[in-house]
Amino acid sequence: MHITHMPPTKAIPVTEPFLPPFKDYVRRLQGIWERKLLTNDGPLVQELEQKLQTHHGLGRMARCLANGALGLQIAFKALGVAGEVITSPFSYVATASCPLWEGCRLVFADIEPDSLTLDPQAIEAAITPRTEAIVAPHVFGNPCDVEAIAAIAAKRGLAVIYDAAHAFGVNFKGRSILEWGDVSMVSLHATKLFHSVEGGFVVAQTPEVDAKLEWMRRFGHNGPGDFHGVGINAKMSEFHAAMGLCVFDHLDTILSLRRSRSEDYDVGLAGCPGLADGIAWRTGASRNYAYYSVLFESERMLLRAVDRLHRASVFPRRYFHPSLDTVASLGSWGDCPVSQDVSSRVLCLPLSTSMDEDDVARVCELIRG
């Protein structure tokens, strides 16, 4: 008697890290073994910083760190921001928890319904005499209205910190988006577009702030027995830089695969019933295809689609849900109905270099069902 087995359906996670050929990583490790320099600003970290600076065409050095969250925290310290800050409720929790961890008080301002980034008018309305900074995420790699934010900050004397965790490689009007604001932080976490397992980098606008970022990440050292000031340990290790360099060698492939899969989604979901208009990408901005998000017409429709996808071993994520202004532990001021509405209806679909056209077609078919 013959029993035929159906091939098990391949699970599709929301993302999968890109891994370079194993031998390439080993080759870079070989050098670490020879030098016996495992961390503390070694040659691989320096090489990665140089590559990141050149890639983004930055006037100032990309300062590599152990992770992106520490980059945000050091930014608050370097800019002397410790009071009230205005931020977005539509982001990963780190955008809010990092200033809170630094002792700041959060005020949430609402987002624009089409770009999903902070609404400049809502920022203005949220300013009080105690406001010190605007902490703005470039959501899904879509730049904030950086020109309006710069004008508000200049008029009110506020610092601007961009959470550019999603914005690797994004340009605005032909220049890197990382050149806006006092400090920008990019995450190099394994789940991000470009990664070093764990990691991140910061870019400052002025030489003074850049110098602080540089020494604050290594306990404030100015030589073995001297100190510029108080710092913390946020150094990237050589092992992490080695991964970053290996992934860097494949950047063009990574970007073109993600772009192709995103375009497959655009075609597969065109006119799909139940879906609302997607994100409006900022005019003048380039896209990095870091995420593929869709907005449903209602939360009920979203939940039905998620259930169908889960039963077929497809695992999208509700980025970002819940809206952070509703999270009690963040203890903020501000009620943001636009963010709450968007959060209830937004879904990030699987997107990674491991997916092919057929995987995207399968996801689209399930959503259309």
Ligand X SMILES: *Cc1c(COP(=O)(O)O)cnc(C)c1O
Least gap, CB of 157 to ligand X (angstroms): 25
Look up residue 206 and give its two tokens.
Answer: 């002025």
Least gap, CB of 113 to ligand X (angstroms): 19
What DSSP element (H or E) covers 122? helix 120-126
Choose, by CB under 6 A, the member of 39, 95, 237, 293 that binds ligand X. 95
67 binds ligand X (CB under 6 A): yes
- Count of beta carbons in the 10 Å neighbourhood of residue 153: 18
Stretch that binds ligand X, among 89-97, 99-107, 206-214, 249-257 (CB under 6 A): 89-97
Choose, by CB under 6 A, the member of 28, 56, 63, 189 that binds ligand X. 189
| R_g of the chain computed on alpha carbons | 21
Least gap, CB of 271 to ligand X (angstroms): 30
What amino acid occupies position 272? C
Least gap, CB of 91 to ligand X (angstroms): 5
Q: Strand, helix or coil at 86? A: strand
Stretch that binds ligand X, among 20-28, 160-168, 286-294, 324-332 (CB under 6 A): 160-168
How far is it, in rounded angstroms, from Cα 355 to Cα 15? 9
Residues in the chain: 369
With 0-12 / 13-18 / 19 or more C-beta atoms within 10 angstroms meaning exposed / middle / buried, residue 36 is exposed
Least gap, CB of 93 to ligand X (angstroms): 8
Least gap, CB of 94 to ligand X (angstroms): 4
CB closer to ligand X out of 92 and 296: 92
Least gap, CB of 199 to ligand X (angstroms): 7
244 binds ligand X (CB under 6 A): no
CB closer to ligand X out of 192 and 362: 192
Stretch that binds ligand X, among 18-26, 62-70, 274-282, 293-301 (CB under 6 A): 62-70
Stretch that binds ligand X, among 34-42, 46-54, 159-167, 239-247 (CB under 6 A): 159-167
CB closer to ligand X out of 192 and 261: 192
- Phi first, then psi, for residue 143 (nearest 5°) are -65, 145
Choose, by CB under 6 A, the member of 49, 119, 163, 359 that binds ligand X. 163
Would strands 346-349 and 292-295 be described as parallel, antiparallel, or unpaired? antiparallel
Size of the site for ligand X (CB under 6 A): 14
Choose, by CB under 6 A, the member of 56, 58, 68, 292 that binds ligand X. 68
Look up residue 22 and give its two tokens.
Answer: 């194993």
165 binds ligand X (CB under 6 A): yes
CA distances from 267 to 124, 262, 271, 275, 296 (A): 39, 9, 9, 14, 17
CB closer to ligand X out of 79 and 364: 79
89 binds ligand X (CB under 6 A): no
Q: What CA dihedral angle connects 135, 336, 149 and 136, to 10 degrees? A: 20
Enumerate the β-bridge partners of residue 86: 107, 134
What amino acid occupies position 244? G
316 binds ligand X (CB under 6 A): no
Residue whose C-alpha is closest to residue 92's, from 16, 167, 177 = 167
Least gap, CB of 250 to ligand X (angstroms): 20
DSSP structure string for 9-67: PPPB-S-------HHHHHHHHHHHHHHT--SSS-HHHHHHHHHHHHHHT-SS--EEES-
Least gap, CB of 168 to ligand X (angstroms): 11
Q: What CA dihedral angle connects 237, 216, 163 and 82, to 10 degrees? A: 150
Choose, by CB under 6 A, the member of 89, 99, 120, 137 that binds ligand X. 137
92 binds ligand X (CB under 6 A): yes
Residue numbers of the site for ligand X (CB under 6 A)? 67-69, 91-92, 94-95, 137, 163, 165-166, 187, 189, 200
